[in-house]
Structure 1
């Protein structure tokens, strides 16, 4: 039996362009949850491309399956 590997794509303004500390958690852009990395990466790429000229905007893929099932490969 295989388990879903859920991925969350979020983005927002960060305090430091080199970091991942978001300025306002209430203002995060929740792009979506995806059941495979390829779809999540496409969503991340599309969202990041829209804000490519804004160094303080950052989008990330969060591997939810690693949080929900830490022993999963």
Structure 2
């Protein structure tokens, strides 16, 4: 299985958490085939909103959700 990654973000209720304020306004940056390309996209999205403490972007390792027993 390919190591698929998802990068997304949005406004959070508290900058110390990942409790998103409005799931209908999530910014899906995209799906990526490896961590390096996902991290590059994450850095770009996070950098655009660096001055807004309530905006958070994350990388989700989708391959781990799809096959939790697989070794990375």
Query: TM-score normalised to the size of structure 1?
Result: 0.95
Gaps of at least 5 residues in structure 1 are: none
Q: What count of residue pairs does the alignment treat as equivalent? A: 71
How far the C-alpha of 1:72 sits from its partner, in A, is 1.2
How far the C-alpha of 1:62 sits from its partner, in A, is 0.5
Gaps of at least 5 residues in structure 2 are: none
In the alignment, which of 5, 17, 20 is matched to residue 18 of structure 2?
A: 20
Query: TM-score normalised to the size of structure 2?
Result: 0.97
Where do 4+ consecutive residues of structure 1 move more than 3 Å?
none
In the alignment, which of 59, 63, 66 is matched to residue 65 of structure 1?
A: 63
